A and B are shown apart, each in its own frame.
Chain A
Amino acid sequence: MNKRLTAFYWMTVPAVLLFFIFLTLPALQGLYYSLTNWNGFGHQYHFVGFKNYVNLFQDDNVGNAYWFTFRFAIVVTIAINVLSLLIAMGLNAKIRFRNFFRGIYFLPNILSVLIVGYIFNYLFSNVFTIWGQNLGITSLSTNILGNEQLAWVGVVIVAVWQGIAFNTILYLAGLQTIPTSLYEASNLDGAGKWREFWSITFPLIAPFFTINMVLAMKNSLMVFDQIVALTNGGPGRATQSISHLIYTGGFRGGEFAYQSANAVIYFIVIAMISILQLRFLQRREMDD
């Protein structure tokens, strides 16, 4: 065997093995359990075929969780990308204390999601309400996390607040790949700031836009920690995301097999969305 090839095999084979043991195997196990009625810890279970899948499509709690998660993911993805692109452009400009601001804006990404969630939980219930009362704004004087109609907005605020940091860094990296000579040239041609953005900045960071959209979408489809820390799925099931439903139903409810079936479907859905998004957005990159 060629010596160089051997080295490549030594790189890939262990990786494939590890990937198989820690990712593929559990996924296959989940697929197997989804065809049984196992509660997760009993010593016996029966093979029930596709019963779990049939029940899944008749369960309005599942439909409710998908509806919440998609609505949440779309709003969060758009908000994160718009805001982080704006912030990145600001941080890329020649402003004073630029490095200081870059540090500040990255801070939310370092903090644990759970801790941020618990802090915001306290703020929503005991601080913002008092501000609302003092300012005489009725909609702010009660905790929005306790309101069936508005709780999801609270979760969105926290998810966006924290999600911006990472995407800003990616956009910042993208903005730095654009040669300044292009801006100088457009300046000579008399292009305005708006024109400059649409004709130079945005097309040139297109690959970063693609990856940011896909990552933000994927992360918000899998939202879990924020839900646990902020609302625990409530009030009622108003903010129950799919992963939260799988966790609570599967473990707390002792319906391991049933929620395994849900997880299988969820996996397929996320994979399909990511692939579609990549295809669509990458084609857009080519067009420019």
Chain B
Amino acid sequence: MWKWGKRLSVLAAILLLSVFISACNRDDASSKVKMEFFQNKPEAKGSFDKLIAQFNQEHPDIEVTQVNPPEAETVLLTRVVKNDVPDIVGLGATDTYSILAQSGIFTDLANTKLPSTVDPIYLQMLKDVTGIDPVYGIPYAANANGVMYNKTLFREMGLSVPKTWDELIATAQKIKAAGKIPFYFTYKDDWQTNLPFNALGPNLVGIDFFLQRRENKVTFQDKYREVAQKQLELLKYGHGDNFGKNYADGNRAFANGQGLMYIQGTWAISEIRKANPKVELGFFPLPTGNDEQAVKLVSGIDTLLAVSESTPHKKEAEEFIAFLLKPENSKQYITEQTLFSAVKGVTQDDPSVAELLPYFKAGRVIDFADHYIPKAVQLNSIVQAFLQNGDINAYLAKLDREWDKVANRR
């Protein structure tokens, strides 16, 4: 017995010593500060790698590493449950961000110099999404959701950009009659099915709907019939296997000229160009109704930057964010990713999204619908199931039922 006790105590001593040494290491000023930058966009991995390499070179005492797993939002939530929050987080202004911000796991950055460098419109957008005042995230880049089209193929067929819903359907019919694919749908991935939903909902029903829905004053069954009908109508102009292709398949196919229109976000442009650098793309907002002036562009915060409340390196994390927000770095990022910068004075000059700039200038933008729908409702899978069976009544009833169930469980 005694022998074992001695061995155990030696083992314990070694363990303690190693803990002590690693604790010392962390405080040791001479060694590098190691920080983790966690972000959720697989498309942006390469762009951030370049910026991080430059940052690490300029700051020999700091080492930032990028983490970008698949299903990043879910992985992030899993890590938060384990109390293992990454030092810096890059995330869209979604419901996930909302619940994280409300749980107080991010640092309030209101008193730093960071918010002053970005456009106040985007700071306001963040407040609208979360419904709280502290600045837990700095908007970095914004996206737009609409219809991407192949300019070369449009020219070949003599088509012009549709401005109204009827023109959109007429264009699709003309393309279909010519034996080509009007819309390349990628509905195997359930999040792709909510893209038309995100454009139709806020334009036809408005964002206020969600605030009223929270108070149980309206229902999806009352207001969302037109949205559902129009989404079904669009499905008539797809290809033969709408539910068999995923986002990656779609980017490859559209880059190679299969399909003339692609209901998608600007985030896909960089991926499409990877598959075919020569493709000539254009972008227009999805015309949701027949009043040309009423159509708004759906745009949201694609990436915001947040600092963990529990990180020991808040100063360094702020430094990293300030670095990313420098106009030249932001410009490099949005140029590579074809997004729109939240930083004051940085403009997007890519010809593919030139048609969207007037909407931003005039403030004719509206946020994504799904930023206001609790994640637990699992909108994506509901929309995907609806598009498969086409049962509008069951679909709207299901949206209401799931919403109520989630509200009841909170």
Contact = CB atoms under 8 A, between A and B. Distances in A.
Contacts of B99: 39, 41, 254
Interface string B368-387: 00000011101001101110
A234 B77 contact: no
A129 interface: yes
Given A43-B103, A234-B384, A252-B77, A146 B190 contact: no
Interface stretch (A79-87, A177-185, A235-243, A279-287): A235-243
Interface in B342-388: 374-376, 378, 381-382, 384-386, 388
Given A249-B376, A254-B77, A37 B244 contact: no
Interface stretch (B47-55, B277-285, B294-302, B402-410): B402-410
Interface string A38-49: 011111000000
Q: Which of B1, B100, B375 has the most CB of A within 10 A?
A: B375
Given A142-B241, A236-B388, A256-B81, A125 B103 contact: no
A155 interface: no
A143 B103 CA distance: 41
Nearest to A259: B376
Given A125-B244, A125-B245, A256-B81, A37 B188 contact: no
Q: Which of A10, A129, A143 has the most CB of B within 10 A?
A: A143
B385 A129 contact: no
A251 B241 contact: no
B409 A236 contact: no
A272 to B, nearest CB: 26
Given A41-B105, A52-B409, A141-B240, A235 B376 contact: no
A142 B376 contact: no
Interface string B225-252: 0000000000000001111111001000
A251 B81 contact: yes
B80 A41 contact: yes
Interface string B185-198: 00111100000000
Interface in A126-173: 126, 129, 141-148
B4 interface: yes
B74 interface: yes
Given A41-B77, A43-B104, A129-B241, A146 B188 contact: yes
B381 A236 contact: yes
A232 interface: yes
Nearest to A41: B80
Interface string B300-334: 00000000000000000000000000000000000
A56 B246 CA distance: 32
Given A39-B99, A234-B384, A237-B381, A143 B243 contact: yes
Contact of B240 (A125, A142, A255): A142
A12 interface: no
Given A43-B104, A256-B81, A129 B382 contact: no
Given A39-B99, A233-B381, A234-B188, A252 B409 contact: no
Given A148-B389, A235-B384, A39 B188 contact: no
Nearest to B240: A142
Nearest to A258: B409
B144 to A, nearest CB: 25
B134 to A, nearest CB: 15
Contacts of A254: 77, 96, 99, 374-376
Contacts of A248: 74, 378
A55 interface: yes
A146 B81 contact: no
A90 interface: no
Interface of B: 1, 4, 71, 73-74, 77-78, 80-81, 96, 99-100, 102-105, 187-190, 240-246, 249, 374-376, 378, 381-382, 384-386, 388-389, 405-406, 408-410
Report, nearest first, the 3 A-B pairs whose CB atoms are least far apart.
Answer: A236-B385, A143-B244, A146-B243
Given A141-B240, A236-B388, A237-B385, 4 more contacts: A58-B405, A125-B245, A236-B385, A253-B406
